[in-house]
A and B are shown apart, each in its own frame.
Chain A
C-alpha cells in the first residue's frame, strides 16, 4: 500500500544525496557531463517520453523546495537545478555554479555562477536570485525541506561580489556546506519565483500539471548543456499501484517506470522489448536499537543482535539478491568509508555467549515493524527467523501512522529507512544528540568530538582519518544493525536509450530524462 508521504519522509527518506566531499579545488575543473550513453548509437532529437512514477496524490506540488512524493521529486529534477549535484559516481559536480570554493578554515565559501545560464523565461541567473532562493528555503515563517541542512547559514551573510560571484559567510566552519547545496530540493529559482509559474534552469520547462494525475514538460531550447535534452516532451504519470505501473510498461503506455517490484524483474528481463535498470545505492534499512533502553543499553546485547543477522541471506530473501552487504556502517560511497574493517558475519554461538555474559540468556525482545518502505516488514521476519533459538524476537507490526506517531524515535527496537548520503551529512541527520532523527539515542562523547573535528577539518586526508575513527566506534558499539544496501531497480523500454545506472540514490538515473533519446 502506498501512504501519503509525511514531512518525516521528506526529511528522512526522500532527502537524497549529500555526503562525500570532493576536493573543492577540483570542482572548477569539472563541468557538466555529456548525456551520451554506452550503446544505442548516436543520440537523436525528438519524441515524447512518458514515465510512470510510484506514489503521489492530491498533495502533489511543482514547488522547487517542498517536494515530497516520488512524482514531485521526478518533476523537480526536470524543472530546477541546484548550485551543485551528485553525478552517477556520487561525486559532487557544479551545476548552476561553475565553481564553489572555501576559504582556509571553511567559514566562507565563494560561489561563481555559470556563464550564460538562464531561467526558462530567458532571464540570466544573477546572484540576487541565488540569495532569494536561500531566503525562501530558510524562511523562518515557512521553512522548506532544505532549511534544516542549512542550519549554519544566516542568509543575511550572503553577499554579491560581482554580477557572477557570491560569498557565503557561515556561522561556524563546516565542510557540510557542499552537501547542503547539492540536494535536488535546493534548486535555484528567480528572485520573483512563484510556484504557480514554475521557472527554473532545468532541462525541461513547465507545460501542464494535474496533481495526482500527470504533468507535462517541454524541452528548454536554451538549456546550458549542449545537445541535451534530446526529447521534445516528458510526461510524468502517477501510479499508486505496483501492478498498474508494471502493466503500463508491459503494454507500452509508458517508456519507463521507477521501482520495479522484485517479483516482476524476471518478467521484464524475459521481454525483448524491455530492459531492467539496476543501480547500486547507499540506501539502507537498519534495525535500530536504543542504546539507552534495556536490554540494548548493554553493548554486548547490541553486538549479539548484530551477530544474529545472516546478512547474505537477508539480501537473498528480502531483496532477491539485489543489494550489497552491510557492515553496520552507513555512507558506503563516502570516500572515507572504512572498507578495510572486517565484515561482521553470522555467528549465533558468539551471540549466545555474549548474551550469557551480559546476563540475558534466553532473551525475549519486541521488534516494532511497519511497512514504511519496501522490504521493512520482510526484513523483520527474516531476522526473527535467523535469531530463533538464541533470541526470541516477537514482531509487533503497526501501521505507518502509529509508527511515526508519538512513539517514533522512542521505540526500543524498531526499523527505519534511510537514503544515500555522505558520512557527515548522515551523522547530522541521525547520529548526534540534536539530530532530528536520532532513533538509536546515540550519544557517544568520543564519537561526537571526532565528528565535530572532522566537520571543521579542511584537509581531506586528516578528515578521513577522523571519520574512520568515528565509524570504528559505531562498528564496535553503535545501535544500528545495517545488513545491506539496496539496489534501485527500474524498468524501461528498448525504444529509448540514454538511461544509465547511477549511485546518486534516485531512481531512473536521478530522473535524468535529459539523457534520454528515442532509438
Chain B
C-alpha cells in the first residue's frame, strides 16, 4: 500500500507538466492558422476599445450634448443618441460590462461543465446517467429562455446574469467534454493508472484533463462567443445589470432602434462592436479546433 502511494505521488507531477505543455503546444499550433491570427487581431481591437475607451471618451456617457437623434450634432463624431447623448462616448463606455460579464459567464460555464464531464465521463454508472439525463432536460431549453426565466425571478443583477448564462453553458460543455473524457478513459495509460491504485480524482485531473485540453479550449472559445451574444442580447432587452443611464452595447441597440433611419450610427456602431467581437472569438475558437484536430496544415494550404 505505502509503495503504491509513493508511486502515485511521483506519477502525479508528471501529467501536470504535460497538461500545460500540451496547452502551450496547442496554442502555438493554433497561432499558425490564419483564422486564429485574424480572430486574435479583431478580438484585441474590440477588447482594446472597450477597456481603454472610457479613458478616451470626449464626453461623459450621461451628458446631453445636443438634440436627440441628430446625425451631425456639433462637437460629436457620430451624432447623438435618442436622449441627445454622444454616441461615440457611449460606444467607448459601453463595452466593459459586456466583456466582463461574458468572460465570467464563460469561466463559470466551462469550469462547472468540465467538472460534470470528469465526474460523469469517468464515474459512469448511475452518476453518469443522472447527470446526463439532467443535462438532456436542460438542453431542451434554449439558453436565452432559461436566462430570462431566472432573471425574471431574481432581477437583472450582474451576479444573476453570470449565474444564469453560465449555468446555461454547463450542459452543453458537459456533453462535449464527457464524450472526450469517455474516449480517453478507455485508453491504456488510464487503465494502468487505475491498476497502480491511483485515486479517481487524481486520474481525472492527472490523466484525463490534460488529454481533453483540445476540446476544452475549443469549448471555452465557443462559449465565450455565445456569452458575448447572450449578454448583449440580455442588454438589448434591458437586462444588463446596469443603471438605466449607463452605456451598454446591447442596450444602445434597443434604445436607438426606432431612430435607425434617422441616426443609424447609434445602432450601427454597437452592432459592429458586438458583431466583430463574436466573429473574432469564434475565429480563434475555430483555429484552436483545427489545430487540435491536427488538420491545420491541410486545411490552410
Seen from chain A, the residues whose Cβ lies within 8 Å of a Cβ on chain B are 242-243, 261-264, 266-267, 313, 316-318, 320-321, 369, 371, 377-378, 380-382, 384-385, 388, 394-395, 397-399
Can you list 25 A-B pairs, Cβ within 8 angstroms, ordered by A?
A242-B258, A243-B260, A262-B258, A263-B256, A263-B260, A263-B262, A264-B262, A266-B262, A267-B261, A316-B67, A316-B68, A316-B84, A318-B83, A320-B68, A320-B69, A369-B244, A371-B238, A377-B244, A378-B82, A381-B62, A381-B244, A382-B64, A385-B62, A385-B245, A395-B245
Q: Which residues from A are CB-within-8-Å of B300? A: none
B164 part of interface (Cβ distance < 8 Å): no
Closest residue of chain B to A399, judged by CB?
Answer: B152
Majority SS of interface residues in chain A? Answer: helix
B194 part of interface (Cβ distance < 8 Å): no
Chain B stretch 256-289: residues in CB contact (< 8 A) with chain A: 256-263
- The answer to whether B83 and A382 touch across the interface, beta carbons within 8 angstroms, is yes
B243 part of interface (Cβ distance < 8 Å): yes
Q: Which residues from B are CB-within-8-Å of A318? A: 83
Given A242-B258, A263-B263, A316-B67, A380–B83 Cβ distance below 8 Å?
no
A318→B155 CA distance, assembly (Å): 26
Q: Number of B residues contacting the other chain (C-beta, 8 Å)?
A: 23
Nearest chain B CB to A316's CB is how many angstroms away? 7
A385→B64 CA distance, assembly (Å): 9
A388→B64 CA distance, assembly (Å): 13
New contact pairs (11) apart from A381-B244, A384-B62, CB-CB < 8 Å: A261-B258, A262-B68, A263-B258, A263-B262, A264-B262, A313-B64, A316-B68, A317-B64, A317-B83, A321-B67, A369-B244
Majority SS of interface residues in chain B? Answer: loop
A399→B151 CA distance, assembly (Å): 11
Q: Which residues from B are CB-within-8-Å of A243? A: 257-258, 260
B63 part of interface (Cβ distance < 8 Å): yes
Nearest chain A CB to B69's CB is how many angstroms away? 5
- The answer to whether A317 and B262 touch across the interface, beta carbons within 8 angstroms, is no
B238 CB contact (under 8 Å) in A263, A266, A320, A397: A397
Closest residue of chain A to B237, judged by CB?
Answer: A1
Interface 1/0 per residue, B57-78 and A, CB below 8 Å: 0000011100111000000000
Chain B stretch 141-188: residues in CB contact (< 8 A) with chain A: 152, 155
Chain B stretch 33-73: residues in CB contact (< 8 A) with chain A: 62-64, 67-69
Q: Report, nearest first, the 7 A-B pairs whose CB atoms are least far apart.
A: A263-B259, A381-B245, A261-B258, A263-B258, A395-B244, A397-B244, A317-B84
- The answer to whether A384 and B245 touch across the interface, beta carbons within 8 angstroms, is yes
Nearest chain B CB to A508's CB is how many angstroms away? 19
A385→B260 CA distance, assembly (Å): 25
- The answer to whether B83 and A381 touch across the interface, beta carbons within 8 angstroms, is yes
Q: Which residues from A are CB-within-8-Å of B244? A: 369, 377, 380-381, 395, 397
A320→B259 CA distance, assembly (Å): 12
- The answer to whether A264 and B245 touch across the interface, beta carbons within 8 angstroms, is no
B83 CB contact (under 8 Å) in A378, A388, A395, A398: A378
